[in-house]
Amino acid sequence: MVSFERLQQYAPFVARLGIGLVFFWFGMIQIFDGQSFLGYLPDFAKLIPAQPLTIILFNGVFDTLVGAFLIVGFLTRITAAVAVFHLILVIIGLGYNDIAIRDLGLLIVSISIFLQGPDRGSFDTHYLHPLKHHAQRHLQRQKERLGDAVGIKIKLK
């Protein structure tokens, strides 16, 4: 029988992967079929000195990058914060409709990922955090050597 308590550890990974795939998918659609998104441009987009399809293309590239970063878990908390900010702007720009309700769900999951931070399956956990700890240990050793050389004890918190 499956132990759901053991499976709980995978929930942040599944949420990050799921929202990453959604961002990536919508980004790719905007890049390759931007025409279908013209009706979703908010009125304030007219203030931007660019063609509507160009705005959609840039948004598609942005969404694709956010999605890719979330899929692999690269700079997870920062990427989730960017996604949160972006989704808030999208929801405000679209107003109340079916798409905004979908984006509200994506916003809630993005906030959850931001609060959680890197999970067990993320690039951050496997590569960035070990590098950070290694650099901190190296810095501590260097400060201890310097302190020994001048005859004082240096402690880091």
Q: Write out pLDDT tens, residues 12-35.
A: 999 999 999 999 999 999 999 999
Q: Show the tokens assigned to 60.
A: 């598609």
Within this chain, do residues 102 and 154 fall inside the same structural domain, yes or no? Answer: no
Are 97 and 150 found together in one domain? no
For residues 128 and 109, state if they share a domain.
no
Residue 95 burial by Cβ neighbours in a 10 Å radius (0-12, 13-18, 19+): exposed
Whether 34 contacts 49, CB under 8 Å: no
Residue 60 sits in the same domain as residue 105: yes
* 133 and 60, same domain (yes or no): no
Q: Which residue has the tokens 């929801």?
A: 91
What pLDDT, on the 0 to 100 scale, is given for residue 150? 60
In sequence order, what E strands does the chain have?
none
Residue 130's domain spans which residues? 122-157
What's residue 5's pLDDT?
Answer: 83
Tokens of 116: 């959680």
Distance CA 87, CA 144 (A): 47
Same domain for 25 and 95: yes
Rounded Cα gap, residues 17 and 87, in angstroms: 17
Residue 107: what residue type? L
Give Cα separations from 3 to 6, 8, 23 (angstroms): 5, 9, 31
pLDDT of res. 51: 94
Same domain, 77 and 134: no
- Does residue 13 sit in the same domain as residue 63? yes
Q: Which amino acid is at 134?
A: H
What integer pLDDT is reported at residue 154 of this predicted model?
56
Q: Are 22 and 87 found together in one domain?
A: yes
Regions of the chain where pLDDT drops below 70: 1, 129-139, 141, 143-144, 146-157
Number of domains in the chain: 2
Please tell me whether residues 54 and 107 are part of one structural domain: yes
Residues 112 and 138 in one domain: no
Which amino acid would we find at residue 144?
E
Structure tokens at 22: 């959604």
**Of residues 12, 128, 8, the one with CA closest to residue 70:** 12
* Residues 106 and 29 both lie in one domain: yes
